[in-house]
C-alpha cells in the first residue's frame, strides 16, 4: 500500500506536467506561424521536432521528479543539473579521444561533431581548448583517413565555438601545420584532404581577421590544390583522378571564402590570374566541380565590381555563351538530378553576369531571419552550413561570432511582449542589408590595413 501512495504522488505530478505540455504545445504551434515564410526560404524545425524536444524535456523532468519524490522528498531536477550532466558527457567524449581503440575515438569525434554543431559551448570549451586541440592533433597525425577527416571537421567547429578572438587564432596556429601536411599529401585519404581544406579555410576566416600573413599563406596553399585542375599550355583540361574533383571543389570553395576578406590590392591580382582559368574549368566533366567553379566566377565578378565601377569581365561574350549552354544543358548522358541542379545554378550565374540580378533567399531562425542577397553573403553562409549542417540556425540565433558576421547584433532575449510584436519582412530585409553593408565597410578598412602587410 505505501508503494501505491508513492505512485499516486508521482502520477499527480506527471499529470500536471502533461497539462503544462498541452498548453505549451498549443502556444508553440501558434508562435510557429509566420516563422516559415520567406523568399525561397529554408524552413526551420518542424512542429513535430519542436514538440518532440519539449515532450522529451518534460518527460525527463517528470521522471526525475517522481524518483526524487521517493528518495528525497520532492527536490526537482533543474536546468543546472541538466547542464552538469551534459558537461560530464562532453568530458567523457574528450577523454575518449585519447583511447587506444580507433572505434572509440571515432565515436567520440562524431559525438563532439554533433554537439559542437547544435549548441554554443564557449564557456565550457575555452577552459579546455588546449586539451581538445592536443587530442585532435593526435588524431590528425596518427589516425586513419576517416579519423583525420572527422578530427579536421571537429577542429573547424571548435574554432567557430571559440569565436574570432585570440583563442581561435591560438588553435589555428597550433594545428595549421598538420592540416597543411595532410592537404598536400597525395598519398593521404581524399576524404581527409577535403576535410582539411574546409577546416583550413574556415579556421583562417574566423581567426585571421587582422593577420595578412596567415591569409596569404592559406590562399596560396589552397590555390596549389585546385590549380592542378586548370588547363595546360595547350588549353586542354587534365584528366582528373578518381576523387580529385571533390578535393578541387573543396579547396576552391575554401579559397573563395577567404577571398571575401582579401584586401583590394590582392583581390585585383587574384581576379586577373584566376578568372580566365576558371572559365576554362566550366568544361570539367564533374558536375559538382562545374557548379563550384560557376559560383566562384560569380563571386569574383561581384567583388571586382565592388572595388571598381569600371571592372569588366574579359571575353564576357564567350563566358556568357558557355553559361547559357550549361543553363540549358539537356545531355542525356548526365543524370537527371545533375542536369536540374546545374541548370538552376547557371541560370543564376548568367543573370548576374549579364544584368547583376541576384535571387534573394531568406533564412529563418526563431523570430529572426537573414537575407542572402549577394554571392559573397551566400558563400559565407554556405561555408558555415557545410560544416555545421542543420545546426547553423542555432548558431545564427545564439553564437556571437555568426551574429557579428551577418550583422545581427547580440543574441536576442525575448519575452512574450516582444515575441508578439511582428516586424514586416521588408523592414527585416532593410535592416539586414544595412547591417551587412556596414560590416563590409568595416572589413574594407581592415583590408586596407592588411594591404601594408602584403
Q: Which residue carries 574528450 as its cell?
A: 94
- β-partners of residue 361 are 372
Q: Which pLDDT score, from 0 to 100, does residue 426 have?
A: 55
What is the rounded end-to-end Cα distance, in angstroms, of the chain?
Answer: 82
Q: Which pLDDT score, from 0 to 100, does residue 233 have?
A: 86
Q: How far is CA 338 from CA 332, 334, 335, 342, 378, in A?
A: 11, 7, 5, 6, 21
Interatomic CA distance for residues 166 and 226, integer angstroms: 30
Which cell goes with 99?
583511447
Interatomic CA distance for residues 395 and 120, integer angstroms: 7
Q: Which pLDDT score, from 0 to 100, does residue 72 have?
A: 43
Q: How far is CA 281 from CA 24, 226, 252, 308, in A?
A: 54, 11, 12, 25
- Please state whether beta strands 361-365 and 368-372 pair in parallel, antiparallel, or not at all (unpaired): antiparallel
Q: Minimal CA–CA distance to 44: which of 393, 395, 453?
A: 393
Cβ atoms of 294 and 282 within 8 Å: the answer is: yes
Q: Which pLDDT score, from 0 to 100, does residue 265 have?
A: 86
Q: Which pLDDT score, from 0 to 100, does residue 3 have?
A: 36
Please report, in tens digits, the pLDDT of each residue of the chain (454 residues total).
333 333 333 344 344 444 444 444 444 444 433 433 443 444 444 444 433 443 343 334 333 333 334 444 444 457 788 888 888 999 999 999 999 999 999 999 999 999 999 999 999 999 999 999 999 999 999 999 999 999 999 999 999 999 878 899 899 999 999 999 999 999 999 999 999 999 999 999 998 655 688 899 999 999 999 999 999 988 899 988 888 999 999 999 999 999 999 988 899 999 999 999 999 999 999 999 999 999 999 999 999 999 988 898 888 899 999 999 999 987 756 677 778 889 999 999 999 999 999 999 999 998 999 999 999 999 999 999 999 999 999 999 999 999 999 999 999 876 544 444 545 555 555 556 666 666 666 655 555 545 444 4
> What pTM was estimated for this model as a whole?
0.76
Which cell goes with 307?
572595388
Cβ atoms of 135 and 126 within 8 Å: the answer is: no
Task: List helix spans (H) across 262-399.
Answer: 264-281, 287-307, 316-327, 336-355, 375-388, 392-398
Interatomic CA distance for residues 297 and 238, integer angstroms: 20
- β-partners of residue 42 are 363
Interatomic CA distance for residues 425 and 423, integer angstroms: 7
Interatomic CA distance for residues 285 and 200, integer angstroms: 26
Burial (0-12, 13-18, 19+ Cβ within 10 Å), 131? middle
What is 51-97 written as a DSSP string? HHHHHHHHHHHHHHHHHHHHHHSSPPP-HHHHHHHHHHHHHHHHHHT
Interatomic CA distance for residues 390 and 394, integer angstroms: 8
Amino acid at each position: 500500500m505505501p508503494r501505491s501512495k508513492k505512485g499516486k504522488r508521482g502520477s499527480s505530478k506527471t499529470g500536471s506536467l502533461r497539462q503544462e505540455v498541452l498548453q505549451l504545445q498549443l502556444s508553440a504551434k501558434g508562435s510557429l506561424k509566420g516563422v516559415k515564410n520567406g523568399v525561397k526560404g529554408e524552413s526551420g524545425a518542424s512542429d513535430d521536432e519542436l514538440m518532440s524536444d519539449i515532450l522529451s524535456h518534460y518527460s525527463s523532468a517528470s521522471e526525475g521528479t517522481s524518483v526524487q519524490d521517493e528518495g528525497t522528498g520532492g527536490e526537482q531536477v533543474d536546468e543546472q543539473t541538466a547542464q552538469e550532466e551534459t558537461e560530464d558527457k562532453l568530458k567523457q567524449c574528450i577523454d575518449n579521444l585519447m583511447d587506444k581503440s580507433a572505434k572509440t575515438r571515432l565515436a567520440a569525434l562524431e559525438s563532439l561533431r554533433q554537439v559542437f554543431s547544435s549548441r554554443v559551448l564557449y564557456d565550457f570549451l575555452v577552459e579546455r581548448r588546449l586539451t581538445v586541440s592536443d587530442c585532435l592533433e593526435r588524431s590528425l597525425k596518427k589516425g586513419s583517413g576517416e579519423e583525420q577527416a572527422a578530427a579536421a571537421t571537429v577542429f573547424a567547429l571548435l574554432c567557430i565555438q571559440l569565436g574570432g578572438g585570440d583563442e581561435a587564432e591560438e588553435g589555428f596556429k597550433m594545428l595549421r601545420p598538420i592540416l597543411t601536411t595532410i592537404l598536400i599529401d597525395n598519398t593521404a585519404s581524399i576524404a581527409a584532404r577535403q576535410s582539411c581544406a574546409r577546416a583550413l579555410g574556415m579556421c583562417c576566416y574566423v581567426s585571421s581577421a587582422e593577420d595578412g600573413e596567415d591569409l596569404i599563406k592559406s590562399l596560396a596553399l589552397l590555390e596549389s590544390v585546385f590549380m592542378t585542375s586548370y588547363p595546360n599550355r595547350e588549353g586542354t583540361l587534365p584528366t582528373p583522378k578518381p576523387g580529385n574533383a571533390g578535393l578541387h571543389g573543396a579547396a576552391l570553395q575554401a579559397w573563395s571564402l577567404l577571398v571575401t576578406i582579401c584586401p583590394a590590392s590582392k583581390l585585383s591580382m587574384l581576379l586577373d590570374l584566376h578568372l580566365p582559368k576558371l572559365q576554362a574549368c566550366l568544361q570539367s566533366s564533374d558536375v559538382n566541380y562545374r557548379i563550384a567553379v560557376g559560383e566562384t566566377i560569380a563571386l569574383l565578378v561581384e567583388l571586382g565590381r565592388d572595388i571598381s565601377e569600371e571592372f569588366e569581365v574579359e571575353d564576357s561574350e564567350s563566358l556568357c555563351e558557355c553559361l547559357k549552354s550549361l543553363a540549358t544543358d539537356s545531355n542525356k548522358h548526365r543524370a537527371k538530378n545533375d542536369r536540374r541542379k546545374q541548370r538552376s545554378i547557371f541560370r543564376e550565374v548568367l543573370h548576374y553576369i549579364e544584368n547583376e540580378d541576384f535571387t534573394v533567399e531568406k533564412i529563418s531562425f526563431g523570430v529572426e531571419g537573414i537575407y542572402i542577397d549577394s554571392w559573397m553573403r551566400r558563400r559565407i553562409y554556405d561555408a558555415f552550413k557545410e560544416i555545421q549542417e542543420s545546426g547553423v540556425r542555432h548558431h545564427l540565433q545564439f553564437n556571437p561570432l555568426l551574429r557579428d558576421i551577418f550583422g545581427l547584433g547580440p543574441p536576442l532575449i525575448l519575452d512574450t511582449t516582444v515575441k508578439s510584436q511582428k516586424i514586416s519582412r521588408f523592414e527585416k530585409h532593410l535592416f539586414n542589408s544595412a547591417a551587412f553593408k556596414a560590416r563590409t565597410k568595416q572589413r574594407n578598412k581592415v583590408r586596407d590595413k592588411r594591404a601594408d602587410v602584403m
